[in-house]
């Protein structure tokens, strides 16, 4: 497909993209384009991934994270619900034990 001036771009030529990214608060010229899977707190730039506090962390491209994270939220919600039910059972058991002790002490 012809580029500007009728020149066909080569595969190695960079293609200008419209600016659709927010800039990194630490590295102002770098776009926020990754999500750190270890920290799971914020989007980060390539400089943060390569040389910053997220160096060595597993990251996803923001677009891929948007596709994957809703399923993760569902998994976490299910795990939280199951854990809450488990804790509720422990509380019920503890209250029953307390009632039994009070009953024994009142004899």
Statement: residue 18 has pLDDT above 80: no
Bridge partners of 34, per DSSP, are 44, 61
Q: Give the pLDDT confidence score for residue 16 in this predicted structure.
A: 61
CB contact at 8 A, 3 and 9:
yes
Average pLDDT (81-95) is 93
The pTM assigned to this predicted structure is 0.51
Q: Residue 62's pLDDT is what?
A: 87
What is the arithmetic mean of pLDDT over 48-73? 88
User: 97: pLDDT confidence band, cut at 50, 70 and 90?
Assistant: very high
**pLDDT mean across residues, the chain:** 84
């Amino acid at each position: 497909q012809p580029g500007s001036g009728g020149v066909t771009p080569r595969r190695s030529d960079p293609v200008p993209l419209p600016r659709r990214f927010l800039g990194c608060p630490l590295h102002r010229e770098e776009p926020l384009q990754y999500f750190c899977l270890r920290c799971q707190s914020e989007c980060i730039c390539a400089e943060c991934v390569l040389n910053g506090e997220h160096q060595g962390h597993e990251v996803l491209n923001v677009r891929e994270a948007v596709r994957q994270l809703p399923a993760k939220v569902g998994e976490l919600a299910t795990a939280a619900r199951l854990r809450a039910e488990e804790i509720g059972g422990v509380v019920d058991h503890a209250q029953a034990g307390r009632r039994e002790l009070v009953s024994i002490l009142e004899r």
